[in-house]
Amino acid sequence: MGRRRRPAELAGAAGALPEAIAALSRALPAGPSPETFRRAKFDRPEAAPALWRLLFRVLSPPRADGASASRALEAQARWVKAALLTQGYPRLRLARLPDDGSQGSRELLLALSWLLARKPLLEPLLARTRVRLGDELPAFECGALASPSLPAPRLEADGPVDACHLQWLMGKLRFRWRNLMASQQEQCALLGKIHMYTRGCHSDCRLGHLSVAETELLRDPEGGRQLLRRLESENARLGAALEWWRRELVFWQWMDTVLGACPPEAPQPACPPGLGGRGRTAGAWDPAVWELQALQEELQAAVGARRAAWAARVRGQGPEWSAARQAAQEATREAVGRELAALRQAWERGGGPQPHGPLRLVRTEAGAPGGPGLRAVEAIGALKSREACLEAALHQLQAQCRQQLARLAGALPGLLWIPPPGR
Amino acid sequence: MLPLGCSRRLVAELRDALDTCAERQRQLEQSLRVSRRLLRTWEPAETPTPTPEPTPGPETNEEAPSSAGTPSPQDLKELELLTQALEKAVRVRKGISKAGERDKASSQKSGSIATSATTAAAPHRASQTKLPRGTRQATRPAKGLPKPKLLSAGDQTCIGRGPLAAKPGPGLRDQQIAPSAAPQAPEAFTLKEKGTLLRLPMAFRKAASQNSCLWAQLSSTQTSDSMDATTSSKTQFLQKMQVTSGWPSSGLSAAEVEAEVGRLQKACLLLRLRMEEELARDPTDWMQEYRSLLTLEGLQAIVGQCLHRLRELQPVVEQQLGPWPEERLPMASLPCGGGAEPTWSPQLLLYSSTRELQTLAALRLRVDMLDQQIHLEKVLMAELLPLVSMQEPLGPPQLALCRAVHSLLCEGGQHFLTILRDEPAD
């Protein structure tokens, strides 16, 4: 087997596949050795644990890496199975693999390839563990604060609690937020100073000043060395990822053969087996339907009233009035259509006005034209409108509650309900 | 007391929220520690073993142990003069040669050009001067180590080599070099005064620029469409996977369905807000009236579509795959940015004053906090409202519960209403 390099397009090049697999294994976090991949093709059991762990690492949410990585193989295997099924993994065989993580390497290899084929997998993984050289405002992913973390087994068997306990917890939460605000303000002040004091130091003139990480590496050489090592290993991974992209065609051709080597599945009935309960989404589905139905009724009433009023107005005028106003009405129709389309974007795209990706803070002079980048003023504006929207949403929810509770109160005669002052 | 299941779920949610906050606080405090340390006087670096070497020459350095007496005024004056002379020489040189890569000297003391704060009072201590650029060290530590290249221009700081160990090494051997070594008054290094003189080490700069170059390549390969053969083979593979699977394609995966339901919930909220905004307006002329009518009709149409979509999802929702309830799986294990992230290299956020930065950060926190509050509000509503509606008897415990629930749901747990029994005066 010669080591001549051939372009990846020439399928069957004997040297290209091992290199592609090697690149993939270097690019993945905790990537298994290329040998593991080869063993997995033949469904060797010794390859299974490494692949379970890899899939666990790949599928876990970003914040959970630390504690959960040390969980037992069985727990990880179970979790991976559930996660893959929620993502829609089509093969039934995965669900039938034993929980102890000892088998199924070929299936896991197929699962990994399935994840790689569907959506970009490597890039988000790399971006997650990216070495941050600049200072950034904590930019949390949408809803990350609200989303549950990886299930840490909560073993406390709590008894039932009082509403007071809940109020106490809410108060504690409020206090923590206040602390957070204060600390954040202080951090910003310090950042401002550091940026100001180190202006002119950076080799990259777009940046102009050092960040905390860079200044820290100057102060503490040991830390600096570690940072450098992390940078270099990230560079290696990035290089591996780029090489993988150049070579991945052979990998897919190889995966076809792996899939072919699997024994055929017996066709199953349409309903997948082994379900317990309606799952979590069902819990959210019902209220969503009720809310939308309630909204629909309200809109129906409002529209009915307005339409009647409009019809009355048009009747009162003559036909020439309507004809004269056609153009204006058309324009209005278009404007409303555009506005509603923009409204739709707010939930369909899911991103909204927030800029994606990490943002490095750069201090500039107030009057300077500045290079490419987002201006703080614009970001502030976007955040303010988002804040207003969220506040309105919160008040609306609270108003809903108030209405419902007032209805209940109305059903209980003989009591006076005095709202708290200031309302 | 609340029922057991309800209690557990609510307490778990609130604890989650508290933990998230605590984690964020912890990270912030870590950053604060680092930043505060940077703004103080920089301590000399770590190495615990001082290696004071005897220095030849009268005017050159002496390793003065801390027990040495205070310097004489004459020495101080000499020091001053020498410092100024050196500064001038260095300034001249700076004009000639280019900024120092190859540099030198006492940048051995990587990063910290400080005397310790406590001994700063004793100005005269053995010190190594900063050699002007272009001089070479006889021995240099391995170049893999990042060292700051301190420009000598205007730099009067010198490595304070007090009894507090300076880094041993080549720095001490400076004195062999000719233009060397006027002992200079060591000064503490603070970022405020000397920050503009720092330079990043070469190795680091290379690695960092390579890093951003690689990231740029990465994002460009993602957006380029040159991978047709690869894309089609991937699609083929996916189709084959589907075909050889155990059951026919069910269309949407559970994760996608959940995401869709979440989107539609958000849609409901936004549509409601828009409706209320519209209803609150009072149209003054026919044009506004018409516009208002059209908007409301448009909203009605959209709500109809959303409902339709939700109803379409019902059969998928009913058949759930896999065991869910105990393990709370993450909603989106892959980042939920809309579609492909076009660039992963950090964009810049330009600010011009500390006040601006603080406003931005505060708003950011406020938005996150509101997000969390809305989530908690929904969870509380889902659990508590059914409880309260079910209560029949009018005894004090139920009233207390009503009052508590009202406070939690409507006032964020901060205010309470009062319930009075409306009895006729006897």
Q: Which of A57, A86, A154 to mutate to test the interface with B (most CBs of B within 10 A)?
A: A86
Residues of the domain holding B316: 254-320
| Residue B425 burial by Cβ neighbours in a 10 Å radius (0-12, 13-18, 19+) | exposed
CB atoms A137 and B1 under 8 Å: no
**Closest C-alpha among B20, B201, B241 to residue B110:** B201
Binary contact (A371, B348; C-beta < 8 A): yes
Q: Is the minimum CB–CB distance between B321 and chain A shorter than 8 Å?
A: yes
Q: Which residue has the higher pLDDT, A283 or A207?
A: A207
Whether B99 and chain A come into contact, CB under 8 Å, resolves to: no
Query: What integer is the mean pLDDT of A178-195?
Result: 93
**B267-286 pLDDT, tens per residue?**
888 888 888 888 888 888 88
For residue A113, is it within any domain?
yes
Poorest-pLDDT segment among A156-160, A370-374, B97-101: B97-101
Q: Is B266 on the interface with A (CB under 8 A)?
A: yes
Strand (E) or helix (H) holding A416: strand A415-418
Inter-residue contact B350 to A373 (CB < 8 Å): yes
**Do B333 and A61 make contact, defined as CB atoms within 8 angstroms?**
yes
User: Torsion over CA of B266, B269, B274 and B275, rounded to 10 degrees?
Assistant: 140
Whether residues B352 and A363 touch (CB distance < 8 A) is answered with yes
How far apart are alpha carbons B170 and B113 in whole angstroms?
A: 15
Per the CB < 8 Å rule, is B198 touching A363?
no
DSSP secondary structure letter of residue A43: T
Higher-confidence residue: A268 or B279?
B279
Cβ of B222 under 8 Å from any chain A Cβ?
yes
Last residue of a domain, one of B320, B342, B377: B320
How far apart CA B211 and CA B202 sit, in angstroms, is 14
Residue with structure tokens 């009895």?
Answer: B423
Instruction: Give domain status of residue B372, yes or no.
Output: no
Each residue's pLDDT tens digit, B34-47 = 999 988 888 765 43
DSSP structural state of residue B99: P
Judge whether B97 lies within some domain: no
CB-based contacts of B420, cutoff 8 Å, min separation 6 = A415, A416, A418
Tell which of B410, B418, B421, B422 to mutate to test the A interface (max A CBs under 10 Å).
B410
Q: Phi and psi (nearest 5°) for B219?
A: -70, -25
Report the alpha-carbon angle A204-A207-A211, nearest 5: 105
pLDDT of residue B300: 93
- Containing B160, the helix (H) or strand (E) segment is strand B159-160
**Residue B296 binned pLDDT confidence (cut-offs 50, 70, 90):** very high
Contact call for A340 and B310, based on CB within 8 A: no
All residues at 6 or more sequence positions from B396 whose CB lies less than 8 Å from its CB, including other chains = none
**pTM for this model (two decimals):** 0.71
Is A194 domain-assigned?
no
Distance of CA A389 to the CA centre of its chain: 21
Contact call for A417 and B37, based on CB within 8 A: no
Find the domain containing A75 and state its range. Answer: 11-134+237-262
Is B125 in contact with B76 (CB distance < 8 Å)? no
Question: Please, what is the angle between helix A221-261 and helix A212-219, to 10°?
Answer: 120
> What pLDDT does residue B324 have?
41
B318 interaction partners in chain A (CB closer than 8 Å)? 278, 282
Instruction: Determine the distance in angstroms separating the CA of B77 from the nearest CA of chain A, rounded to an integer.
Output: 30
Q: How many domains does chain B have?
A: 2
How far is it, in rounded angstroms, from Cα A147 to Cα B331? 7
Decide if pLDDT at B301 tops 90.
Answer: yes
Q: What's the confidence (pLDDT) of residue B426? A: 57
pLDDT above 90 as % of chain A: 18
Spatial distance between the Cα atoms of A398 and A393, rounded to a whole number of angstroms: 9
Out of B296, B335, B353, closest to residue A303 by CB: B296
Average pLDDT, chain B: 69
pLDDT band at B106 (very low <50, low <70, confident <90, very high): very low
Highest mean predicted confidence (pLDDT) among A212-216, B51-55, B134-138, B392-396: A212-216
Closest-approach residue (CA) in chain A for B305? A292
In a domain, B116, yes or no: no
Separation of alpha carbons A259 and A265, rounded Å: 12
pLDDT at B26 (0 to 100) = 94
Task: Determine contact: B256 vs chain A, CB below 8 A.
Answer: yes
Closest in B25, B349, B408 to A359, CB measured: B349
CB contact under 8 A, A340 and B258: no
- Chain B residue nearest residue A91, CA to CA: B245
Burial of A314 from C-beta contacts in 10 A (0-12 / 13-18 / 19+): middle
Task: Report whether pLDDT(B248) > 80.
Answer: no
Q: Write out pLDDT tens, residues B193-232.
A: 777 888 888 999 999 999 989 988 888 876 665 568 888 8
User: Is pLDDT at A365 greater than 60 in this prediction?
Assistant: yes
* CA–CA dist B72, A314 (Å, integer): 102
Counting the structural domains of chain A, the total is 1
pLDDT at A62 over 80: no
DSSP E strands, A322-402? 359-363, 374-375
Distance from CA of A33 to the nearest CA of B (A): 23
- Which DSSP letter does residue A122 get? H
Contacts of residue B323 in chain A, CB cutoff 8 Å? 82, 274, 276
Looking at residue A357, its pLDDT comes to 61
- Domain boundary at B290, B320, B350, which? B320
Residue of A nearest to B340 (CA): A120
pLDDT of residue A279: 54
Q: Do B324 and A277 touch (CB under 8 A)?
A: yes
Q: Cα(A192)–Cα(A196) distance, rounded to whole angstroms?
A: 6
- Pairs of residues, one from chain A and one from chain B, whose beta carbons lie less than 8 Å apart: 677
| C-alpha gyration radius of chain B | 35
Q: Select the residue of B35, B290, B300 nearest A299 (Cβ to Cβ).
A: B300
Residue A13 has pLDDT above 60, yes or no: no
Say yes or no: B399 contacts chain A, CB-CB below 8 A: yes
Which pLDDT band, with edges at 50, 70 and 90, does B6 fall under? confident
pLDDT of residue B116: 39
The helix (run of H) or strand (run of E) holding residue A418 is strand A415-418
Both tokens of B262, joined, read 């979440």
- Per-residue pLDDT band at A67 (split at 50, 70, 90): low
pLDDT by residue (tens digit) across A325-336?
A: 888 888 889 999
Reported ipTM exceeds the 0.85 cut: no
Residues 100-119 of B with CB under 8 A from A: 110-112
pLDDT at residue B165 tops 80: no
Residues of A in contact with B319 (CB under 8 A): 271-272, 275
Longest dimension (CA), chain A: 95
Q: What is the tens place of the pLDDT at every residue in A228-261?
A: 999 999 999 999 999 998 888 899 999 988 888 8
Gap between the terminal Cα atoms of chain A: 83
For A261, counting Cβ atoms within 10 Å of its Cβ (0-12 exposed, 13-18 middle, 19+ buried), the class is exposed
Tell me if A163 is assigned to some domain.
no
Rounded Cα–Cα distance for residues B241 and B249 (Å): 10
Of the listed ranges A71-80, A168-177, B22-31, B45-54, the least confidently predicted one is B45-54
By Cβ distance, the residue of A307, A366, A421 closest to B293 is A307
Predicted confidence band of residue A371 (pLDDT cuts 50, 70, 90): low
Could you tell me if B202 lies within 8 Å of chain A, comparing CB atoms?
no
Residue of A60, A188, A362, A396 to mutate when probing chain B, most B C-beta within 10 A = A188
Beta-carbon count within 10 A of A353 CB: 12
> What is the bridge-based pairing of β-strands B347-351 and A359-363?
parallel
Q: Which residues of B touch A153 (CB under 8 A)?
A: none
* % of residues, chain A, pLDDT over 70: 81
Q: What is the per-residue DSSP string for A57-73?
A: HHHS-GGGHHHHTTS-H
